[in-house]
Amino acid sequence: MTAPFPTPKTDEAQRLLSPEELEAALRDIGARRYHNLHPFHRLLHDGKLNKDQVRAWALNRYYYQAMIPVKDAAVLARMTDASLRRVWRQRIVDHDGDAPGDGGIERWLKLAEGVGFARTYVESTQGILSATRFSVDAYVHFVKERSLLEAIASSLTEMFSPTIISERVAGMLTNYDFITKDTLAYFDKRLTQAPRDADFAIAYVKEHATTPALQRQAMDALTFKCNVLWTQLDALYFAYVAPGMIPPDAWTPGTGLVPEPAVAQATGTGTLTAHDVPRLPRGVRLRHDAVRDQHVLLAPERTFDLDANAVMVLELVDGQRSVRDIAGVLAEKFTADASVIEADILAMLNDLATKRVLER
Ligand SMILES: O=C(O)c1cc(C(=O)O)c2c(n1)C(=O)C(=O)c1cc(C(=O)O)[nH]c1-2
């Protein structure tokens, strides 16, 4: 497809660059346009956003994460060479995993849950900004419509991502008390996946962009992709930072979240989340008081009576299972909805945590 408004030909576009010059020109595009330079990222990394603004970022970026394998499947579908497909298909595995509960999309959902979202709300994508959807969809369309060279070149933003990831993880861990290393686990794997993918893509582009016109196409593809990323942050900034104009139907703070247990909130104690592994602190025991026929939690100089549900949960608290694991066991036992059980268990365990008879 020819662009309706083709990029004006510059002198640079007329001259065939050496592969090294081409790489330098591509890197220069990143140095000027990559999304690490966007004000929203600067605020995110420097700890200048509030929790809801960080939530808006996590929610919207989920759509990018979820569509990346769709994009890569489209790229794969254009490859007639099995040896290329064999390399590219790894990208889909990285995001989808080999089994349920595995892979990058799952890890992004954990990030979103870590900042308080209900997984089903995030997966529904109903609260994302239209601009997020437009720009991510534009990326998918681009790789379907343009040449394979352009499709591969558009992924070259990944050359620049390891730096921003290191900066983001360090910045967010230092600056936000609600962010943990576990929450950001998504990025651990990207630190090796992104350079591996980028090395392959840049080698391909250097080998196949063999005319000035093809080199220009590769550069334009990378510029386009930088714009895909930049636009998403513009939209976040506009809606959630300044002027703070949230479009109709987009996420508004307070919605789509797992309710935080009121007691833990009031006392300000660290709230357990579904991924935490609860255990009884040293000196606290689950006992059956035979005289009263009552299960109790026995702590130094204190006891707490437990109802039957609490006993069932605490019998599964073994310092190995996470809250989610425990909910899974009980959901299976009672053929009930695991997410409902999980919410109940979290409320109960957080109540015990505030009484200091449970820890993670
Ligand atoms: O955290 C980031 O700043 C960042 C940037 C990019 C990128 O540069 O496109 C990707 C990712 N992360 C990422 O996680 C990811 O899976 C990914 C895939 C692609 C792609 O174009 O195929 N880019 C990116």
Q: What is the pLDDT of residue 285?
A: 83
136-146: pLDDT as tens digits: 999 999 999 99
Residues in the chain: 360
Judge whether residue 92 has pLDDT over 80: yes
Judge whether residue 35 has pLDDT over 80: yes
* CA of residue 294 to ligand 1 center, whole Å: 55
DSSP state at residue 117 = B
Judge whether residue 262 has pLDDT over 70: no
* CA of residue 34 to ligand 1 center, whole Å: 11
The answer for residues whose C-beta is within 8 angstroms of residue 31's C-beta and 6 or more apart is none
Hey, whose CA ends up nearest to atom 21 of ligand 1? 155
Q: How many CB atoms lie within 10 A of CB 77?
A: 11
Among 7-16, 89-98, 251-260, 264-273, which is the least confidently predicted range? 264-273
- As for the ipTM of the complex, it is 0.96
Among 52-61, 74-83, 105-114, 295-304, which is the least confidently predicted range? 295-304
Residue pair 72/91 in contact (Cβ under 8 Å)? The answer is: yes
Calculate mean pLDDT across residues 76-94.
98
* CA of residue 29 to ligand 1 center, whole Å: 16
Judge whether residue 85 has pLDDT over 70: yes
Judge whether residue 106 has pLDDT over 60: yes
DSSP state at residue 37 = G
Hey, whose CA ends up nearest to atom 24 of ligand 1? 158
Label residue 357 exposed, middle or buried (CB < 10 Å: 0-12, 13-18, 19+): buried
Go through 196-219 and write b for each residue having 16 or more CB atoms within 10 A of its CB, e for each that does not: ebbebbbebbbeebeeeebbbbbb
- If one compares 190 and 270, the residue with the highest pLDDT of the two is 190
Hey, whose CA ends up nearest to atom 20 of ligand 1? 155
pLDDT, averaged across the chain = 90
| Three-state SS annotation for 341-358 | HHHHHHHHHHHHHHCCCC
With CA atoms as reference, report the closest residue to 203 among 218, 184, 181, 221: 218
The whole-angstrom separation of Cα 151 and Cα 225 is 10
The whole-angstrom separation of Cα 348 and Cα 327 is 12
Show the CA angle centred on residue 46, arms to residues 164 and 241, nearest 5°: 100
With a pLDDT cut of 90, the percent of the chain lying above it is 68
> In which band, very low, low, confident or very high, does the pLDDT at 268 lie, cut at 50, 70 and 90?
very low
Q: What is the pLDDT of residue 284?
A: 84
Residue pair 237/40 in contact (Cβ under 8 Å)? The answer is: yes
Residue pair 113/275 in contact (Cβ under 8 Å)? The answer is: yes
Q: Within 13 A of 90's CA, how many CA atoms are on the CB side? A: 13
* CA of residue 292 to ligand 1 center, whole Å: 60
Calculate mean pLDDT across residues 199-213.
98
C-beta 155 within 6 A of ligand 1: yes
For residue 197, the ligand 1 atom closest to its alpha carbon is 22
The whole-angstrom separation of Cα 155 and Cα 186 is 19
With CA atoms as reference, report the closest residue to 156 among 108, 103, 199: 199
Q: What is the DSSP string of 149-195?
A: HHHHHHGGGGGTHHHHHHHHHHHHHHH-TT--TTTTTHHHHHHHHHH
C-beta 96 within 6 A of ligand 1: no
> In which band, very low, low, confident or very high, does the pLDDT at 267 lie, cut at 50, 70 and 90?
very low
Strand partners, 296: 287, 305
Amino acid at position 302, single letter: R
Residue pair 94/103 in contact (Cβ under 8 Å)? The answer is: yes
* CA of residue 280 to ligand 1 center, whole Å: 40
Judge whether residue 336 has pLDDT over 60: yes
φ, ψ for residue 81, nearest 5 deg: -105, 120
Report strand pairing: 285-289 vs 294-299: antiparallel
For residue 91, the ligand 1 atom closest to its alpha carbon is 22
